[in-house]
Amino acid sequence: MMHTDQSTEQPHSPRIVIVGGVAGGASAAARLRRLDEHASITLIERGADVSFANCGLPYHIGGEIEDRGKLSVQTPASLRAQLAIDVQARTEAISIDRETKTLRIHKLDTDVEEDLGYDKLILSPGATPLKPPLEGIDLPGIYTLRNLQDMDRIKAAAESAQSVLVIGAGFIGLEMAEQLIHLHKDVTLIELVEQVLPQMDAEMVRAVEQELMDNGVRLLLGDGISGFSQGDGTVLSAQLNSGKTITADMVILSIGVRPENQLAKDAGLELGARGHIRTNAHMQTSDPNVYAVGDASETFDPILGGPTAIALGGPANRQGRTAADHIVLGERARPYPGSIGTSIVRVFDVAAGVTGHSEKRLQQMEIEYGKTIITDFNHASYFPGATHLTVKVLWEKSTGRILGGQANGIEGVDKRLDVLATAIKGRLTVDDLEHLELAYAPPFGVAKDPLNTAGFSANNIRSGKLRPVYSLAAAEGSQLLDARPAETHSRSRQYPLPGAAPTSR
């Protein structure tokens, strides 16, 4: 049922070369073929695999995804067979000659170099795990996780390891900690800042931290690594900034990523402040014949303006598609609308995530904002299985426009984040949130959804009807009374008021 408008009389089908065959690159290749039956599409990939499910890597290590083959969404062979893409795996792109529109490549298996001419070049090199130049960083037993080979190495090492030190409590660090507990390892998770998930606000990740500890993860917040040394046998010893020493059979470094920008930099393409490849709304770099997509590219923040770079699979896929559209459709192509960084992680039974800006970030940007945090049930409380959900909403003080949202809980976290992300897209205000008409039946929601309640609360705050107190420290020296009804009080184990005397019946 798919057909192309491409006329067979077209004089010249473009030669398109894509560097990087995972999310952004593979999406671009597939979309290009669907738009143009005749284009010459070459996909260069340094690794052995293309289009693998990188978000699934931790879950194969932990055994939750048993079948390794499931992580290969496409293979070089399937891309060739189904979409007639010329896939060159184990091939490195080493330099771009923008004058002659030529890409120099190096075939790793045969050690042969070649030049590939292009009409359009798409760079989708991705990002590489950060490996700070610490003493002992190259000792055996220290791993990073980026591709299937890294995954295989970690999975093999974990078989004989008893203790694992995970460094960095971002998404990958948390997923690895969870999966290693599934493997019955002794897991220590260390994070430089005083909270897990640094892209979220501290009070919104406390439930995640508790869940980690409840499941046996040793959590060290506000501490970093100053170096590694070889311990006894295969045991590694990690020195912490605090002076402590931790020993472990293996170490997983997940402290962040940096964009793979060397090729772009050498070619003189403009880079952003953090080294990402600058692009316009069609994902064109400073050279209109060269596009950049995915984790290595810089796009813009549609909420407050300015550049942003988001290393996530969803944006990478859609940026690949955007670049392909522009190459084939030209000015008829729709621009990329920017990235807001919606993301989520599951940690045992708890989910937590964020969309748009955090409070922390708004403070850094010196934006005047309002906020509310509410806790409610994910679905009708009288229906079996209702669990607590906490939602934080941030809005522009002057207009009420939603700038960001965060949520945590057992069930329904992804749904509320998605609604908030869509609300941000629609430039909705907290007034609009109050009256969102969401799908309600007892198994699925609440007649007044937690997001409606967040809207009610936001509006009570904006109108001056409610003056929230965010910290009980403000009450020092005064007497604290918990005047909530006994029923509310007893239901609020998540939010007790320490030291408060109950006044209620």
| Active site (catalytic) residues | 55
* Nearest of 244, 278, 277 to residue 262 by alpha carbon: 277
Residue nearer to a second copy on the CB measure, 94 or 329: 329
Specify the residue, 228 or 377, whose C-beta has the smaller distance to a second copy.
377
C-alpha distances out from residue 452 to 358, 375, 413, 433, 434, Å: 20, 12, 15, 6, 4
Q: State the nearest-atom distance from the C-beta of 268 to a second copy, in Å.
A: 30
Distances (CA, A) of 120 to 289, 291, 324, 432: 5, 8, 10, 43
Least distance in Å: CB of 314 to a second copy? Answer: 5
Distance CA 458, CA 149 (A): 48
Exposed, middle or buried by CB within 10 Å (0-12, 13-18, 19+), for 238? buried
Least distance to a second copy, CB of residue 367, Å = 20
Q: What are phi and psi of 490, to 5 degrees?
A: -70, -25
CA pair distance 38, 400, nearest whole angstrom: 50
Q: Among residues 110 and 398, whose Cβ is nearest to a second copy? A: 398
C-beta of 277 vs 340, nearer to a second copy: 340
Nearest alpha-carbon partner for 254 in 348, 164, 336: 164
Nearer to a second copy, 55 or 183 (CB): 55
DSSP state of 401: B
Angle between helices 413-425 and 450-462 (to 10 degrees): 50
Structural element, H or E, at residue 158: helix 148-160
Measured from the CB of residue 202, what is the shortest distance to a second copy in angstroms? Answer: 20
Please say which residue, 209 or 434, places its beta carbon nearer to a second copy. Answer: 434
CB of 120 to a second copy, least distance (A): 19
Q: Could you please report the per-residue DSSP string of 69-83?
A: GGGBSS-HHHHHHHH
Q: Report in angstroms how near the CB of residue 142 gets to a second copy at its nearest.
A: 25
C-alpha span between 237 and 152 (Å, rounded):
23
Kindly report the three-state secondary structure assignment for every residue of 228-258.
Answer: EEECCCCCEEEEECCCCEEEECEEEECCCEE
